[in-house]
């Protein structure tokens, strides 16, 4: 089945074969070398010289680790959808004093809202969602950085559904911790996450008591620096697969070529959407990795979903309370432009026969 949902994604056969190889010791030189290679190539994907940490968790695990390890006083969460809200839920669950600033569904975080919040002078951490899969919004980090760089705040950014599929410049945009996971644009099975770590974030974490245990950012950092290994037993099979896939992304396809392919597919899907229901999100802030397409009611998605499943494809429904107003079509990871065109041709056929 073609997975057209916003993660998990289909994984190349070569990578699945790597995952089936016999295990190695997680305390071996070989394991350290694998992690070193992962760190090296993730730096290229994120355009950063900051340290790279690994976590055997989903991206949510590192989101929790980051906000818990870096908030000394109070955090501000800037949400553009369900996964932005998750930052807030994680903070509250950990007893962190936090405010949330929600954008209207389909709209981005604006410079004006960010500045108004930071002018209060009460926050030492902010969280931003780069790419929101519930609404199809992709925030403009360069725009927002023009504001937050003027304040003494640690900047945490969720790039879970964009790293490896959209351009992200961690260092230029002053991001202290950027987070992603394996199962989206990187084209890997779920089960592992990565983040950048700036010196500023590390220094802040050293001031924060009760950072937790398993998800203590400093603990991850100390093990990485000492041995390029993970504090507990990691998913060694997925580490090997990640090493192989990142080598493919960086040295075979090329990071810029991969981003350009995602942008080409995004334009194709947007053009289709404009002729079939319309685009849900603000068209000045559209995701490069998935598109939310308007529907008049849930019956439209039911028809599309059932018919596409019969053709070997799984569509993504609208997320949460948006299920009645849109459906989601992912164009990420190793999907080819030709494959995306085949998907759109099938959708057009179904739309013209059963919905139009």
Question: How many other CB atoms sit within 10 Å of the CB of residue 47?
Answer: 17
Q: How far apart are CA 317 and CA 237, in angstroms?
A: 31
- Find the Cα–Cα–Cα–Cα dihedral 181, 183, 184, 188, rounded to 10°: 110
Q: Is pLDDT above 80 for 118?
A: yes
Q: Is pLDDT above 80 for 213?
A: yes
Rounded to the nearest 5°, which phi and psi values hold at 241?
-65, -40
Kindly state the tokens that stand for 182: 């394996």
The pLDDT of residue 100 is: 98
Burial of 10 (0-12, 13-18, 19+ CB in 10 A): middle
The pLDDT of residue 356 is: 76
Domains of the chain: 22-252 (3.40.640.10), 255-355 (3.90.1150.10)
- Find the Cα–Cα–Cα–Cα dihedral 281, 282, 283, 284, rounded to 10°: -140
pTM here is: 0.98
> Is the preceding omega at residue 254 within 30 degrees of 0, hence cis?
no
Question: What tens digit of pLDDT does each residue of 237-258 get?
Answer: 999 999 999 999 999 999 999 9
- Contact between 106 and 98 under an 8 Å Cβ cutoff? The reply is no
Q: What value does the CA radius of gyration of the chain take, rounded to a whole number of Å?
A: 20
pLDDT band at 189 (very low <50, low <70, confident <90, very high): very high
The pLDDT of residue 177 is: 99
Burial of 345 (0-12, 13-18, 19+ CB in 10 A): exposed
Calculate what percentage of the chain has a pLDDT beyond 70.
Answer: 100
Question: What tens digit of pLDDT does each residue of 289-300 get?
Answer: 999 999 999 999
């Amino acid at each position: 089945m073609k997975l057209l949902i916003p993660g998990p994604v289909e994984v190349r056969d070569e990578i699945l074969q790597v995952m089936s190889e016999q295990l190695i010791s997680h305390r071996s030189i070989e394991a350290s070398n694998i992690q070193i290679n992962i760190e090296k190539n993730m730096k290229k994907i994120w355009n950063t010289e900051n340290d790279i940490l690994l976590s055997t968790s989903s991206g949510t695990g590192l989101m929790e680790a980051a906000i818990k390890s870096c908030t000394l006083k109070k955090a501000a969460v800037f949400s553009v959808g369900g996964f932005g809200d998750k930052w807030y839920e994680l903070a509250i669950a950990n007893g962190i004093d936090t405010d949330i600033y929600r954008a209207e569904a389909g709209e981005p975080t604006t410079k004006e809202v960010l500045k108004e919040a930071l002018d209060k002078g009460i926050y030492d951490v902010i969280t931003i969602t780069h790419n929101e899969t519930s609404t199809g919004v992709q925030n403009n980090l360069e725009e927002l950085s023009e504001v937050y760089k003027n304040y003494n705040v640690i900047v945490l950014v969720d790039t879970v559904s964009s790293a490896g599929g959209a351009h992200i410049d961690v260092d230029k945009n002053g991001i202290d911790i950027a987070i992603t996971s394996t199962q989206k644009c990187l084209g890997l099975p779920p089960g592992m996450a990565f983040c950048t770590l700036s010196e500023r974030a590390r220094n802040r974490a050293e001031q924060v008591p009760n950072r937790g245990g398993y998800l203590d950012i400093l603990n991850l950092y100390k093990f990485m620096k000492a041995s390029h290994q993970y504090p507990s037993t990691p998913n060694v099979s997925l580490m090997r697969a990640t090493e192989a896939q990142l080598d493919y992304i960086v040295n075979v396809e090329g990071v810029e070529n991969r981003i350009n392919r995602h942008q080409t597919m995004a334009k194709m899907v947007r053009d289709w959407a404009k002729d079939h229901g319309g685009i849900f999100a603000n068209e000045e802030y559209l995701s490069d990795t998935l598109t939310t397409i308007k529907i008049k009611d849930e019956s439209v998605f039911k028809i599309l979903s059932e018919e596409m499943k019969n053709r070997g494809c799984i569509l993504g429904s609208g997320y949460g309370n948006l299920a009645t107003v849109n459906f989601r079509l992912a164009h990420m990871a190793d999907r080819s432009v030709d494959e995306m065109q085949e998907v759109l041709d099938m959708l057009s056929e179904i739309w013209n026969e059963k919905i139009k």
